Structure 1
Amino acid sequence: MTSPTPPALPDELDRLLRRMRLPYLRKAAPDVLATARAQRWDPAEVLRILIHEEVTGRDAATRRLRRTSANFPTGKTLASWRPEESSIPEPTQNALATLEWISRAENLVIAGPSGTGKSHFTEGLAHAAIEKDLRVAWFTLETLTTTIGKAKVDGSIARTVARICRADLIVIDDIGLLPAGTDAAEAFYRIIDAAYERRSIAITSNIHPSGFDTIMPKTLATASVDRLLHHAHLVLTKGDSHRLAEALAGKGVTPLT
């Protein structure tokens, strides 16, 4: 059996709620008011529940918007992360998952071979940060370079860097896969310098930060790494590629029939 449909809101009340831009309260109101009449709720309780519905709905909408604007690469979260298969010590994983380091404007650098879970774990932490109402900006070194390059053309570098640094966590993924020229090194330095001791930066890289001067101009690499590592948790991964292991085990594709 299905529950009877609660009566619609009076037109004037519906118009007022629309005008006040309370969509989640307006959506919940018919059910809540019908239940309140049947169970003789106190008016204060009705008001509390309706306001709670609006706040909950707005918070969820904000998180959805922040996920979209963060430009996550895959949507992987900590729910799909297998901590027992990672070379990162579980106490370290658990400590990072508290996200307390972000509240202290500390950085995270995860370096190691390809396929050892660096990006997956970092993206999981970034999703968790959004669930805690923090803002996240996700870049690769290439997309960061493009963003700063466009800002140089129209003279908006300061505004662009300030906008990026409004995020509580700035992620720069997969450094070291390709050589980085002067433009990339400059973009990298600008963000590291602007965020220094103000915002948290998470880096994933195939090479140790001490080797960044092998893929980008030494002066910029040295200045960037100096600021990056000053307040950073350095995590080194090791082992074979999880992706390659899955492929060799036949788990990378759906079997043909």
Structure 2
Amino acid sequence: MDHSSSFPYLRRAAPEVLATARSQRWDPAEVVRILVEEEIKGRDEATRRNHRQQAQLPSGKTFDSWREADSSIPAPTQQALMTLEWIGRAENLAVAGQSHLAEALANKAIDEGMKGSWFTLESLTAHLGRATVDNTVSKAVAKITRCDLIVIDDIGMLPSGQAAAEAFYRVIDAAYERRSVIVTSNLHPSGFDSIMPETLATAAVDRLLHHAHIVLTEGSSLRLTQATTGQGVVPLNQPG
């Protein structure tokens, strides 16, 4: 049996840890504890790197570059979003613009051990379109909704046809009450029927907004105009 790849992070840390242990006369149990911790830490970091790569986030934006004071979203709402507790409750987020916020939330979710996926409506449509060719759409949708957080960015930049509406509906329907979805758009979700076929848009939006936090902004300055919640969600701007 090849053990060359067994416990790679422990093996990497061992020379330095053992040298320190000898010089400081550590108890053997302490040496074992530290080496095991190094292995666990390394595996966790590798998992996060893998999840980030699979998520295909667009630009690497995180909360390190997020300027909370410059956002039109109330500070308590921002802070509540950052707890990610709403993801644990399978609640959704619909926000005007704010792609930076969406990506920062996705990165934070990955940092905390969750899986995420990032699409534009165009890339989602293309992804499911390819699956249609070999009749694996259900499998593709199931894989997407194994993620804890699904982001669909920039809806409404261009009119969308039947294929886009079907792709959007399929994912929203499969995620309904099971996974959290972030949608960013220059439109209120109730206006999605102006850019895609009405029946599918209405069905998708009904499911999206049933357990959703909605943060609307207006104008080039992204001034906050409204922050409301759907049914069955904990308000983001209130404690608890």
The one of 165, 173, 179 aligned to 2:159: 179
Q: Match of 1:10?
A: none
Q: Match of 2:127?
A: 147
Task: From the two aligned structures, give the one with the greater strand fraction.
Answer: 2
Alignment of structure 1 residues 113-192 onto 2, 5 Å: 118-192=98-172
Q: Match of 1:100?
A: 85
Shift of 1:210: 0.7
Distance 2:219 2:75 in 1: 16
The one of 209, 214, 238 aligned to 1:234: 214
1:229 counterpart letter in structure 2: L
1:18 and 2:30 aligned: no
Distance 1:17 1:35 in 2: 25
Distance 1:183 1:54 in 2: 46
Shift of 1:101: 0.2
Distance 2:76 2:163 in 1: 38
1:69 and 2:54 aligned: yes
**Which runs of no fewer than 5 residues in structure 2 stay unpaired?**
223-240
SS at match of 1:220: helix
1:18 counterpart letter in structure 2: S
Distance 1:18 1:161 in 2: 37
Q: Number of residues paired by the alignment?
A: 222
Distance 1:87 1:180 in 2: 29
Between the aligned residues of both structures, percent identity stands at 65
Rg (Cα) greater in structure = 1
Distance 1:206 1:98 in 2: 25
Task: From the two aligned structures, give the one with the greater helix fraction.
Answer: 1
1:133 counterpart letter in structure 2: G
Q: Match of 1:206?
A: 186
Distance 2:75 2:221 in 1: 19
SS at match of 1:171: strand
CA contact (8 A) 1:109 1:235 kept: yes
Q: Match of 1:8?
A: none
Shift of 1:17: 5.3
Deviations 1:59-118 (CA, angstroms, capped at 9, x unpaired): 111111111111111111111011111111111101001000000000000025xxxxx1
CA contact (8 A) 1:25 1:54 kept: yes
Distance 2:99 2:221 in 1: 12
TM superposition score normalised by structure 1? 0.84
Distance 1:72 1:215 in 2: 25
Shift of 1:38: 1.4
SS at match of 1:79: coil
1:167 counterpart letter in structure 2: C
Distance 1:43 1:239 in 2: 64
1:183 counterpart letter in structure 2: A
